[in-house]
Amino acid sequence: MKSSRSYVIYVSVVAALGGLLFGFDTAIIAGATRFLKERFALSSFGEGLAVSIVLVGCMAGAAIAGTVSDRLGRRRFMFISAVLFFISALGCAIPQNLIQFLVFRFIGGLAIGSASIVSPLYISEVAPPKIRGALVSVNQLAIVTGILMSYFVSWILVGAGASNWRWMFATGAIPAVIFFLFVLGVPESPRWLVKQGRENEAASILERLNGPAIAAAEIRSIKETLALEGGSLRELLQPGFRTALFIGVFLAVFQQITGINAVIYYAPRFFEAAGLARSSAIFQSAIIGVVNVVFTLVAIALVDRLGRKPMLIAGSAGMGASFVLLGAAFKFQLFSGGLVLLFTLLYIAFFAMTLGPIVWVVIAEIFPTRIRGRAMAIATVALWLADFAVSLTFPVIADRLHESFAFWLYAGMCLINMIFIWAVLPETKGKSLEEIERCWIKN
């Protein structure tokens, strides 16, 4: 059992390397934005477009990832994501004009959108129920580690001359190659294999993941559940599954419109607005990355003990309170004594140990096996659309209406999210994927 647990942790960590690239590629723009703005003489809208174009790619990548991974398999699709990450990293390092940059950032978005689905999906399908929440949260840990890496890379390269931003993007090619090579050593999802009629392969993998006795029971449970599914997206519009789809989309959207990527992408900007020099602003953004990683570790330790629902409620409340305080700091120009950094770190801490990882856990576990990839794609496209809206509009709102207005707006979204989770979200802690699915079928 000990060796099988070590193996399932290993394959989960490899899959989570897609999350690391997800985090690095989305957040590297934070350090490069000011230099891009100067290089291409961008307006506020142009700045927002340069930051958010990747999210258009994310929506496209997420839209196709579910269907393609349901057809080709989770492992093969991770290879595709790694190649797209590599192309984008090198392409974003060499553009001579804004259009070229936008094209390669869009390709990067395809990779991020694909990884945002296939990595947690794969982990949820190989992980035992008792530690599934923690292992899917490892993907979020990888995402925030990638974000932290991007902040430190930006800080190190900020003084590297006029081409510093090019080197920032180029460094993303290294983890892309590492991801590609490590995926060679992981198996295909056993649930996907059963769906394809390849039971012997699935049984062999499940034996290594969970041991022979559990593997046999898992095969039977997967087959029984698949027999109840029609495999059509229409199934998601039936009573029960329709509720699951609504919950998944709502949580995905509110993970974003509660403001996380206004902080991740634009932290150097509003630290500069609070009076810091550019290099200091980027360094303080790196501190955000450290807090993000530390409190994601807290989430991994607690998610399978405390449950999804209570942690999401507490996180939404803490995030909202943090944004109220941060908005007040900007409204009344309370820029001395590190208050802006303190309130920002408070927000990040609550997000990192609740909405950040746990929304991905819930999205990865509430949908039927046969169409889990496509169902996750719907929720994830909605997530990236919300992310795009936040990323595109934050600089415009900040310039025209003030940063405080944006922060208080996000605080209001946190309140709505907290009420929804309290009233609607069921608890899935400790249940197998098949048990969760049968609950929707009964309803």
Structural domain boundaries of the chain? 2-186+228-442
**Contact between 408 and 323 (Cβ < 8 Å):** yes
Which class for 231: exposed (0-12), middle (13-18), buried (19 or more C-beta within 10 A)?
Answer: middle
pLDDT of residue 240: 64
CA 407 vs CA 275, 295, 339: distances in Å: 18, 22, 15
| 374 vs 429: CA distance, rounded Å | 23
Structure confidence at residue 160 (pLDDT) = 78
**pLDDT value of position 226:** 65
Q: What is the pTM of this model?
A: 0.74
Architecture of the domain whose range is 2-186+228-442 = Up-down Bundle (1.20)
Q: How far is CA 235 from CA 23, 245, 247, 369, in A?
A: 33, 10, 15, 12
The pLDDT score that the predictor gives to residue 24 is: 92
Cβ–Cβ under 8 Å, residues 320 and 411? yes
Rounded Cα distance between 375 and 367, Å, is: 7
Amino acid 362: pLDDT: 87
Amino acid letter, 415: L
Kindly report each contact of residues 278-286 with a partner whose C-beta sits within 8 Å and lies 24 or more positions away, as own/partner. 278/34, 278/158, 279/155, 279/158, 279/159, 282/30, 282/31, 282/151, 282/154, 282/155, 282/158, 283/155, 284/341, 285/30, 285/31, 285/151, 285/154, 285/155, 286/148, 286/151, 286/152, 286/154, 286/155
pLDDT at 79: 92
pLDDT, tens digit, 9 for 90 and up, residues 221-268:
777 766 655 556 666 666 667 788 888 899 999 999 998 888 877 777
As a whole number of angstroms, the distance between CA 176 and CA 341 comes to: 32
- Residue 300, class by beta-carbon neighbours within 10 Å (0-12 exposed, 13-18 middle, 19+ buried)? buried
| Owner of token pair 């927002």 | 48
Residues 194 and 149: their CA atoms lie apart, in Å, by 38
CA distances from 6 to 105, 135, 209 (A): 36, 12, 9
User: How confident is the prediction along the chain (443 residues), in pLDDT tens digits per residue?
Assistant: 445 778 888 898 999 999 899 889 988 887 787 788 888 877 777 877 887 888 889 888 888 887 788 888 889 999 999 999 999 999 999 988 888 999 999 999 999 988 888 888 888 888 877 777 788 778 878 888 898 898 888 888 877 777 888 999 999 999 999 999 999 989 998 888 888 888 888 888 888 877 776 777 778 777 776 665 555 666 666 666 778 888 889 999 999 999 888 887 777 776 776 666 556 666 777 788 888 889 988 988 888 888 889 999 999 999 999 999 989 988 888 776 678 888 889 999 999 999 988 998 888 787 776 667 677 778 888 888 898 888 778 888 877 888 888 899 999 999 999 999 999 888 877 777 677 777 665 55
pLDDT of residue 101: 92
Report pLDDT for 274. Answer: 64
Task: Check residue 71 and give its pLDDT.
Answer: 84
In degrees and rounded to multiples of 5, residue 319 shows phi and psi of: -65, -45
d(Cα 187, Cα 166) in Å, to the nearest integer? 36
Q: Which of 179, 185, 175 lies closest to 147 in space, CA to CA? A: 175
- What is residue 2's predicted lDDT score, i.e. its pLDDT? 44
Closest CA to 308 of 437, 119, 440, 137: 137
